[in-house]
Amino acid sequence: MRFTHLGRTGLTVSRLCLGTMNFGPETDEATSSSIMDSALEAGINFFDSANVYGRSKGRGATEEIVGRWFAQGGGRREKVVMATKLYGDMGDWPNEGRLSALNIRRACEASLRRLQTDYIDLYQMHHIDRGAGWDEIWEAMEVLRTQGKILYVGSSNFAGWHIAKAQEAAARRHFMGLVSEQSHYNLLTRRIELEVLPAAEDYGLGVIPWSPLAGGLLGGIVRKEREGSRRYGEHLRRTVEAKRPQLEAYEDLCAEIDEEPGAVGLAWLLTRPAVTGPIVGPRTPEQLDSALHAVDVTLDDKVLTRLDELFPGHRPAPEDYAW
């Protein structure tokens, strides 16, 4: 495994982040625990979750699975940089979601209980809350940090101007503010290159891409379809049909350089400015094994140019659309 600092911090994290969203609803607890053990053994020390994860098993179920894994001991908690998120509604009563000071306090306490830990390394806002002012948010986060319940604060799904507004408000309070931004980013979805990546780079935030393989579209879906090893619903089928020439050309390029499409998609993200490491969310141990190879894949300039031709990106704004 390779490591880097998370943004401008001195915190060392692996260049792949283990996403836990599938733990519980898609992957049973025993397999989830095995995947976490394998990830740690492979050197992945950066885990990501959210209080709402659990879906059919119930909101909070995923954090509980991670917490029971931590409780097995053996240095598990001490070795892991644990990131989790708040914002989504955890119930139907007022103040059970979003970013009021009340919910920030309650959500943190609840995540600590589920994770069976006394602190969260990276506490992330899952979405912008336009109804909460930054002084309220930062004061609540400052209290948690003073109490030792969180160490760093991150954002997720923020626009570039949200990052700027958050950081300027934090600076006025002499607070560190955001250290990371978790965004939807992959070869097929490159909009964050307009303003989010430049803002993150300028403010020293580490970018943590989610859905790095576009829900499987960049994982060799055409070949798997041909082999009969991949089935998907109507919505994904229409997407594949609309992008088939592009995906076929991508998989042909991967074959030319003798690399799996999934590894190339992850390796490409590791070349992007401000990116700390993509989130890989395996449902099976085999999917984890496949992802691990990405950190050893080197894409030369010729391949990177070809990928840009296949999946056109954005220059930073305003140059992308103005002189």
76: left (phi over 0), alpha (psi -120 to 50) or beta: alpha
Residue 44: which of 298, 215, 281, 284 has the closest Cα?
Answer: 281
In Å, how far from its chain's centre is CA 212?
A: 8
pTM reported for the whole predicted model: 0.97
Q: Is 53 a catalytic residue?
A: yes
Say what angle helices 301-310 and 234-256 make with each other, to 10 degrees: 150
pLDDT in tens, 116-158: 999 999 999 999 999 999 999 999 999 999 999 999 999 999 9
**Domain annotation for the chain: domains and CATH numbers:** 3-215+260-299 (3.20.20.100)
Residue 293: which of 276, 280, 307 has the closest Cα?
Answer: 280
Neighbours of 56 (CB within 10 A): 8
Q: Which residues contact 196 (CB under 8 A, 6 or more apart)?
A: 158, 159, 160, 163, 181, 183, 207
**How many angstroms separate the first and last alpha carbons of the chain?**
42
How high is the pLDDT of residue 15?
A: 98
How high is the pLDDT of residue 211?
A: 98
Residue 213 has which token pair? 């393989």
pLDDT below 50 — which residues of the chain?
Answer: none
Measured CA to CA, the distance from residue 240 to residue 261 in angstroms comes to: 15
How high is the pLDDT of residue 31?
A: 98
How high is the pLDDT of residue 235?
A: 81
Q: Which of 53, 87, 203, 250 is catalytic?
A: 53
